[in-house]
Structures are given as structure tokens and as C-alpha cells.
Amino acid sequence: MKKAVVLRFPGTNCEFDTEYALKKQGFDVEIVWHKEETLPECDLVVVPGGFSYGDYLRSGSIARFAPIMKAVAKYANKGGYVLGICNGFQILTEAGLLPGALKRNNNLHFISKMQHIKVVNNDNKFLSKCRVGEILEVPVAHADGNYYIDDAGLEELKKNKQILVRYCDENGNPMVLNGSVEQIAGVCNKNKNVFGLMPHPERAIELILGSTDGVKMLEGLAS
């Protein structure tokens, strides 16, 4: 059985949703407190959503200094798989494990809704079960989801196929949700072992939740 670690910071509120979703994919799951300095042996680390340290200063900017993040960086640099969801995405960008930054939504409001996203690249473990161009529907819930990267960085993302998903409407047309550069909703690193996205696949794993599209996203990491 594969082992997944889910991190918990003060203010994290999606750790149990994530644990449940990963267990449905067959993972043995352990929740690890932010003050730990080492990671247990595992096949995947997930940095879940929430409001780490109350989102003081900038979202994720304090959590990136937590003791456990040194271990996560070491794990990622050795090729270990890391997934950051929402606040977890913010933490990974602040820690320099993913390119770009997350800013305040362009309308300055918290956005909480079901949202369509289009798969841009699937030559990575995370989205390997999805098709390029496939339209998925998963929830978003964020105030700081406005993804920014400069022009040179954007060209690098495109060249290396690091853009994972973009916001779109139900027909796949580009949709401005929060002001993200080119409607980017998720990216990965150059080595394609660190992934981050603002939408919540762990909240779209059963029909009672409104969608099962999150299953297809997460099962690639379980394969």
C-alpha cells in the first residue's frame, strides 16, 4: 500500500477532506504536524488547503518557514511527489518549490463556487489519467488565487509544459475567475514532481458533493 503524508499547520482546514480522498484512492495516510522536522517514509506529500497562520502577511508566507517545510523541500529535491492544494499551492510558491506567486483576487472578494477547469498538460503523474483539453468541474474557495508570473517565467512554463489547468467555462472557453495570468489555475515544477493548484480535487470525489472529477485528478498519483 502506498503511503501519503498530509501536512497540518495552524489554520489548516482541509486535512481531513484530503485524508478521506486519498484513502479512497488506496493510500495509507498520516497527518503530520508543522513542527515536525522529518517526514516519515512516503510516496506522496500533500500540503492541503485552509488558512495557515491565519493568512497573516501573505497567504503561505509564514508556513513556508515551518520546520516541516525543510523536510518537504529535501524530499521534493530528491524527486519525491508533492501536491499543494489552494493554501498548499500558496505555501509551495512561497517556499520556492513552484514558480510564480498567488495574489489577492482581482475583485478583492473571496470566491467559493463550482468551477470548470481545462487540462492543459497531462505528461505528468498528477494528471496522467486526464486528457489534454478535458473539462473538469471542481470547487474553488479562495481570496488569494490570482496566479502571477512574469513574461519570461510564463514562457518557461509553456516551453516545459508546466501549466496544468486553466479556468474556463463549461464549453472550455477561457474564463477570467480571479485575474490569474492566462487563467492559470495550477502549475508544476520543471521536474514534474511538485504540483500546485487552487481548485480542490479532494472536494470533488463523490456525486453527493456535486462532482467526481477530482477522482480522476488524484488517481494519477495513486497509480
> Among 209, 115, 221, which Cα is nearest to 168's?
115
Cα(118)–Cα(184) distance, integer angstroms: 10
CA 47 to chain centre: 8
Question: Which residues lie below 8 Å from residue 156, measured CB to CB, with a gap of 6+?
Answer: 99, 162, 190
Cα(53)–Cα(165) distance, integer angstroms: 27
Q: Using the 8-state DSSP alphabet, how is residue 125 labeled?
A: S
> 117: helix, coil or strand?
strand
Cell of 21: 480522498
**Enzyme catalytic residues:** 86, 200, 202
**How far separated are the first and last CA of the chain, in Å rounded?**
11
> Among 184, 206, 209, 210, which Cα is nearest to 197's?
184
Cα(200)–Cα(184) distance, integer angstroms: 15
